[in-house]
Amino acid sequence: MQNIGEAFSLALALVASGDADLFEIVGLSLQVSLSATVLACLIGLPIGALVAISKFPGRGALLVLMNALMGLPPVVVGLMVYLNFSRSGPLGFLGLLYTPTAMIVAQTILIAPIVAALSRQVLEDLHAEYAEHFRSLCLSRMQTVSALLWDARYSLLTVALAGFGRAVAEVGAVIIVGGNIDHLTRVMTTAIALETSKGDLALALALGLVLLTIALGVNAAVQSLRMSARRQAYV
């Protein structure tokens, strides 16, 4: 148990020392997972919105599939991206394996279903409330989708945060497609895995605490954005 106390002081010391390697790793973690979150929202939100307002045969099966894809194992996603981006794979000519771009692609695939499935639920509930109103205004499908997305934007922020949380915390996908290369593709989770395998449990735990703090920071930033937007709305 002394590891935990040691980890706390080590985490503080690491941050206080301004360790350049640590900031590089933290920066890459944020860059990769935030990019993946933005891309996953660009893909997932329109899909979620369209499914939310549409009725078509096989919809129930599609919902089951969307919800099931939220449980995509990161290792499987990593493996699929690896096989495609490998120099001997179909997209090998792009030379993207072992780059941050490959990591962004893997995390986008991992969390786009989460964004789509959760936003579908949020928007469908909202649509149920407004359906009559929208019909009376004779809105087109695109107008309905954009009105819903705009109206639910605060709930959708939470959806995006759920996606970000999954992305920044996963190790299985990025370690396969990124390779955990020092100064190139090493992120927080792969660094934690590495220190654990070196038996340096205190340092691994300290990095874990730093990662937790970053996740807190991102969530707090979004929360304050939301609150200031609310305040403005009432002025």
Partner 1 sequence: MTFTRTLGASLTALAFATAAFADDSSIIVQSTTSTANSGLYDYLLPLFQDKSGIQVNVVAVGTGQAIKNAQNCDGDVLLVHAKPAEEKFVAAGFGTDRTDLMYNDFVIVGPEADPAGVGGMHDVQGALTKIADAEALFASRGDDSGTNKKEIALWADTGIDPAAGSGEWYRETGSGMGATLNAGIGMGAYVMTDRATWISFKNKQDYKIQVEGDDDLFNQYGVTPVNPAKCPAVNVDGAKAFSDWLLSDEGQSAIAAYKVSDQQLFFPNAPKN
The least distance separating partner 1 from the CB of residue 199, rounded to whole angstroms, comes to 3
Spell out the SS3 assignment of the chain: CHHHHHHHHHHHHHHHCCCHHHHHHHHHHHHHHHHHHHHHHHHHHHHHHHHHHCCCCCHHHHHHHHHHHCCCCHHHHHHHHHHHHCCCCCCHHHCCCCCHHHHHHHHHHHHHHHHHHHHHHHHHHHHHHHHHHHHHCCCCHHHHHHHHHHHCHHHHHHHHHHHHHHHHHCCHHHHHHHCCCCCCCCCHHHHHHHHHHCCCHHHHHHHHHHHHHHHHHHHHHHHHHHHHHHHHHHC
Q: Is 161 near partner 1 (CB under 8 A)?
A: no
- Of 184-213, binders to partner 1 (CB under 8 A) are 184, 194, 196-201
Applying CB under 8 A, among 104, 106, 152, 210 the residue interacting with partner 1 is 104
Q: Is 172 near partner 1 (CB under 8 A)?
A: no
CA distance 192 to 208: 7
Q: Is 31 near partner 1 (CB under 8 A)?
A: yes
Q: Is 80 near partner 1 (CB under 8 A)?
A: no
Nearest to 119 by CA among 68, 87, 155, 83: 155
Q: Is 29 near partner 1 (CB under 8 A)?
A: no
Task: Considering the complex, state which of residue 67 and residue 84 has its C-beta at the smaller distance from partner 1.
Answer: 84
The least distance separating partner 1 from the CB of residue 160, rounded to whole angstroms, comes to 11
Applying CB under 8 A, among 179, 188, 189, 218 the residue interacting with partner 1 is 179
Interface map 116-155 toward partner 1 (x if CB under 8 A): ----------------------------------------
User: What is the token pair recorded at 226?
Assistant: 């939301």
The least distance separating partner 1 from the CB of residue 190, rounded to whole angstroms, comes to 11
Q: Is 32 near partner 1 (CB under 8 A)?
A: yes
Cβ–Cβ < 8 Å for 122, 150: no
Amino acid in the structure at residue 164: F
Q: How many residues of this chain interact with partner 1, rule: CB under 8 A? A: 33
User: Which of the ranges 12-20, 115-123, 181-189, 219-227 carries the binding residues for partner 1, by CB under 8 A?
Assistant: 181-189
Task: Considering the complex, state which of residue 43 and residue 62 has its C-beta at the smaller distance from partner 1.
Answer: 43
Residues binding partner 1 (CB under 8 A): 31-32, 34-35, 38-39, 41-42, 86-89, 92, 95-101, 104, 179-182, 184, 194, 196-201
